[in-house]
Structure 1
Amino acid sequence: MNSDARVRDDVVSSHAVAGAPCWVSLTARDRRTAEDFYRAVLGWDFRTASLMDGFRIAYAHGVPVAGIAAVASTWQMAVAWTPYFAVESADEAVARGQERGGTVAVGPIGFPPGRAALLADRDGAVFGIWEGRLVVGWETWRRAAPAFLRLHTRNAFDAAMFYGGVLEWATARPGCCEVHYDGDEVVLRSEGVVVARIHSGAVEAAPDPTIRPHWQVHFAVADVGACVRAALAHGGTVEDGADATEAVLRDPDGARFTVTSASQP
């Protein structure tokens, strides 16, 4: 194990980083095609996991960074990347979400060594919660996996109030996430590190009806251009506006994600 993989590996429980993103997972129709695509674009390797049939874990340089499950067709789920947030109690987090107008799609259900649930916020953006032991130490995962998450929504302030209540952001509990405003975005920090942003455009701008509220996963990469070329060569698509620092891609199933230059702050 290298030195990076030992950083804060004592933090292996959702209780220790409650409220922070702790995992991302892809629901796919064709797992083998998805694996080939992400192996080419992001350089991942894949191994079988014991959570459930058809579930695989992606590794980046030996560190588990994401899950892929071929359940989109079986469970009638959308093909998409979904972020999971650590919570102390899945039952309590689900109850807080329902109290605030959110809906529950799945769970909480047991996936040893923990429990998970899928929810949607008041505007329909889907996210997950996780209670229990983390797949890998939180700091190790954060360094190896997504650069950050961004919620595209209709009202950033309203969304921050919803998630803050469900995930207990900006509370008095030790180690909770901090919430700040940065221009037109709400910024979430865990131990001083930006882990998520909530964006709804300029305050005076009307909501864009063409954008369905959703969480976007940003993966840090060494070469955005190489990722774009690999995506196109393996059945993916690239949205307009791609440049050397960032590109929005879709995999062959249509799941949307962003690659961001690792050299960017």
Structure 2
Amino acid sequence: MEDPMTHPHPAPGTPCWIELATLDERAAQTFYAALFGWSYHTKPDPATGSYTIASLDGVPVAGLYRVMPNQPPSWLLHLAVANVRSAVGWATSLGGTVLLDPVDIPGRGSIAHVRDPSGAICVLWEIPDDWAFGTDEPGMFSAADLNTWDGDAVDHFYPTMFGLHSHQVGYAPGIDYVEWRLDEPILYRNVMGDEYQNATPSHWLIYLGADPRRGADVLAEQAESLGGTVVLPPFDTGYGRAAVLADPSGARFAITDRSRPDPDWRAEVEDPYDD
């Protein structure tokens, strides 16, 4: 794997970090260390009291911090921007809502929290020069799905903001799934269907890589034995075998074994909005 310290800055809209906001940081550290082999380094943080960097084989893979008891535990996706203040202006002009105005964090660049027009929350991050983020290996970030009720709204918001192209992927009747692409897919969008409760808010679902030597099925079983929950048992997709899990605090995430794509899973369909 390429040395993450030599990565060029990612293109705007590219996932560049993930954070776990958890009710019990110690339990979360134990869970993810057992599941993926993560190690941790914690340092003081003025916003949250402390901030923990999770690493795998010396490569940073995620951040962890503790939230207040009245806040839901969740994984939070960060998207790269060239200038966070300009990006916030774009977001609001496209119907987004700023939840946290741009903040400069010493040594960590500048961030802002934004809610998109469908209600999903993400972080816009103007990353520092020494940015490092491990991806596309077991135990590291693999992909992110935006699960939403309003495909039209987000298909306008994110592609316009980041210059992405929408590529419709149809794999079953009544399912609306889109790749948002630069040269390759960088984000995915799914319109939620009957399998979701009506009260489910729009949200980003983060995928972490499953080691092919173990596979998604074994990893899901292990997560359950560690106090997690199997929200959606392992299933086949055109991108790999996946499962949706929740950690002991209830934060949901997915795992995917990309060595096992199902070649019969999807069929490309024409997207009238793809330019």
TM-score by length of 2: 0.79
1:196 corresponds to which of 183, 187, 194: 187
Unmatched segments (≥5 aa) in structure 2: 171-175, 262-275
Secondary structure at 2:103 match in 1? strand
**1:234 matched to which residue of 2?**
226
Equivalent position amino acid for 1:215 in 2: W
C-alpha root-mean-square deviation of aligned residues, in Å? 2.6
When structure 1 is superposed on structure 2, of 153-162 and 211-220 the one drifting more is 153-162
Whether contact under 8 Å (1:169, 1:179) holds in the other structure is no
Distance of 2:28 and 2:100 partners within structure 1: 23
**1:174 matched to which residue of 2?**
none
**1:60 matched to which residue of 2?**
56
For the pair 1:214 / 2:203, whether they are aligned, the reply is yes
Q: Which has the higher contact order (CA 8 A, sep 6+)?
A: 1
Whether contact under 8 Å (2:117, 2:153) holds in the other structure is no
**2:112 matched to which residue of 1?**
117
Distance of 1:19 and 1:5 partners within structure 2: 21
Equivalent position amino acid for 1:143 in 2: D
1:20 corresponds to which of 14, 26, 42: 14
Whether contact under 8 Å (2:166, 2:181) holds in the other structure is yes
Distance of 1:129 and 1:82 partners within structure 2: 11
Residues 14-34 of structure 1: CA deviation (Å, up to 9, x unaligned): xx4212111111101111111
1:142 corresponds to which of 127, 135, 148: 135
Instruction: Indicate the percent of aligned positions where both proteins have the same amino acid.
Output: 28
Question: How much does 1:7 deviate?
Answer: 6.6
Distance of 1:134 and 1:239 partners within structure 2: 38
Distance of 1:243 and 1:181 partners within structure 2: 21
Distance of 2:45 and 2:182 partners within structure 1: 27
Secondary structure at 1:5 match in 2? coil
Distance of 1:146 and 1:259 partners within structure 2: 9
Q: How many residues align?
A: 244
Query: Which structure is higher in strand share?
Result: 2
Superposition pairs of residues 235-254 of structure 1, within 5 angstroms: 235-243=227-235, 245-254=241-250
**1:262 matched to which residue of 2?**
258
**2:264 matched to which residue of 1?**
none
When structure 1 is superposed on structure 2, of 41-50 and 247-256 the one drifting more is 41-50
Whether contact under 8 Å (2:20, 2:75) holds in the other structure is yes
For the pair 1:185 / 2:177, whether they are aligned, the reply is yes
Residues 139-163 of structure 1: CA deviation (Å, up to 9, x unaligned): xx23342211000111323212111
Distance of 2:4 and 2:75 partners within structure 1: 26
1:157 corresponds to which of 144, 152, 173: 152
Distance of 1:211 and 1:153 partners within structure 2: 9
TM-score by length of 1: 0.82
Q: 1:241 to 1:232 in 2, by over 3 A?
A: closer
Secondary structure at 2:64 match in 1? strand
Distance of 1:243 and 1:182 partners within structure 2: 17
Unmatched segments (≥5 aa) in structure 1: 171-177
Q: 1:237 to 1:68 in 2, by over 3 A?
A: same
Secondary structure at 2:233 match in 1? coil
1:78 corresponds to which of 72, 80, 104: 72
